Each structure stands twice: as structure tokens, then as C-alpha cells.
Amino acid sequence: MIIFQNKIMDRSEVSIDIEDRGYQFGDGVYEVIRIYDGKLFEMEGHMKRLERSAGEIELSLPFPASEIIYSIKELIKHNNIKDGHVYMQITRGASSRNHPFPDNATPVLTAYTKEYEENPSATTEGIKALLADDIRWLRCDIKSLNLLGNVLGKQKAKDNGYDETIFHRGDTVTEGSSTNVFIVNNGQLVTHPATNLILNGITRKVVIDLAQNMSIPVREEEFTIDELLSADEVFITSTTIEVAPVTQINNTVLNDGKTGEVTRKLQEAFKNRISKVINK
């Protein structure tokens, strides 16, 4: 079962118009929320970001966030999802194809759950990352459906035997194709500030919060490719992979190919944060 216009329906009964603007223009926004033991993780942060992304493209949520969440929780129960995620998207709706916003299109909300057969979180296995030019637009802070720059980046990594792409604009490292990037130096974290050049990851925010509680200093500042390659530790974060160590970037092996001490501590703290949600 899936959600269409906030109703739980059989997937085969749902049809999307060929002129839906999400389909034709990527004119819409989305979120991915992790499900642990049947419960939504950091739900409020994700819903706030969804509202913000929608607002930035002058789209209002077609249903109140509280009602969307209610339906999603029902869907999780209905589909009996223990570990996985829910993907939801809102498009500007269907209208005769023309670039400006249509006057009377109805936004379309869809959501579905995905159950994980294997936990995708990279706990001890290091990630191999490839550097690539950040060719994306200048509103990476909006979680929009336009992901071609990210898709091409990830494919380039895959084609070359890497797991993730780390983007840079000139000499400045921005973020991964679907992750935020942190470097660790002398026990301090540095990550790109939450500007228009990155998506302000929910996991990024949780990690910053955890680090501050653990008295690990965090600087939200730009850093260069050289600083990335010479960092004591590098890790990436996202809803699906949580906190994952990066042990190789291009041909440079980091930290002897091992998970660094600070990364390991943050992974542990992250797991504790998840347990709190599960046991609530």
C-alpha cells in the first residue's frame, strides 16, 4: 500500500498524470525519513525541512504536516515496516505543459515505505569517495526533485569503483552526492556551513548536536580539498547511512584505511540516540 493525496491506497490503483510537473520539470520537493523498529526518526526535523523546501519553491503543503504524519504512521503499521524508510514527495501537480506556475493545479502528495533487508548503515566498513566538480544549481539547500547533478555524480563514482562522490566548488568541499561531509582534525569537527550550497542534513544536525554534548568542538566553516585529504578522519552522514567513515578519497588512503576514533565515538552516540527513539 502507498499514500496518494493523503489516503492509503493500493499501488496499482494510483495513477499520475503524464503532465504532472514533478514528472516533467522536477517541480516538487521530497523527504526521506528513517524508520527504526517501526518508529520515525527525527520526524519533526524532516517535516520542518519539507515545509521549508516547499516554501522556497512557493508551494504549500496540500495537507497539514500533522495529517501527513498521521497517514504515514498508519502506512507503516499497515505495511508492517520495522526497519526501512518512508519516501514522500509533493509536486506542483498536473497542468498543460508550460514553464510558469499553473493557476489552478492541485499539488500531488505521494509516499511509500521501503523495508530494508540489510541495514545500509556503514558501521565499520569504510567508504571510498571520488572527488568531482559540483555542477549543481545554487539552491542545494532545497530538497527538490531535481537531482541530475547528484545522479551524475554518484554514477561517476560507481563507474570508477567508488561508493560516493564528494563535490567541490573550486577548492571548497561542499557535500557528498547524497551525504554531508565532516572532517576531523585534532579532535575537532569541521563541516560546510548550512548555506545555499549544501542540503542541511537532518543527520548532520543530529551529529553536530551529539558532538556538542560530548564536548567535541564543531566548526561550521568551509574547508579545502587539501584539508580534506590531509584530515585525521573524514566521515559522511545521511538518513540511510547514518555516520559512515571515509577511508579513501581518490587514491589517498585515510587513517590507514581504518575508522577513526572520533568517528567511532559519534557512531556509538548515534546508535544510543536511535535506541532512545525505539525505547520511547
Site residues (vs ligand PLP, CB under 6 A): 150, 175, 178-180, 199, 201-204, 237-239
Residue 251 has, within 13 A of its CA and on its CB side, a CA count of 0
> For this structure, is 158 an active site residue?
no
Residue (88 or 94) nearer to ligand PLP, CB: 88
The x, y and z cell numbers of residue 33, run together, are 525519513
Q: List, in sequence order, every beta strand (DSSP E) within 64-157.
A: 84-91, 108-115, 127-133
Instruction: Indicate which residue of 73, 143, 158, 265 is catalytic.
Output: 143
In whole angstroms, how close is the CB of 178 to ligand PLP at the nearest point? 4
Q: Which residue is nearest to ligand PLP (CB)?
A: 201
Q: Name the residue type at position 27.
A: D
Residue (94 or 167) nearer to ligand PLP, CB: 167
The x, y and z cell numbers of residue 251, run together, are 587514491
Q: How far apart are CA 42 and CA 47, in angstroms?
A: 9
In whole angstroms, how close is the CB of 94 to ligand PLP at the nearest point? 26
Residue (201 or 260) nearer to ligand PLP, CB: 201
> In which region does residue 256 sit, left (phi positive, over 0), alpha (psi from -120 to 50) or beta (all else)?
left
Which of 43, 184, 205, 197 shows the shortest CA–CA distance to 134? 197
Residue (50 or 105) nearer to ligand PLP, CB: 50
In whole angstroms, how close is the CB of 73 to ligand PLP at the nearest point? 20
H helices of the chain, where? 21-25, 43-56, 65-79, 148-159, 202-213, 225-229, 261-278
Q: Which residues are catalytic?
A: 143
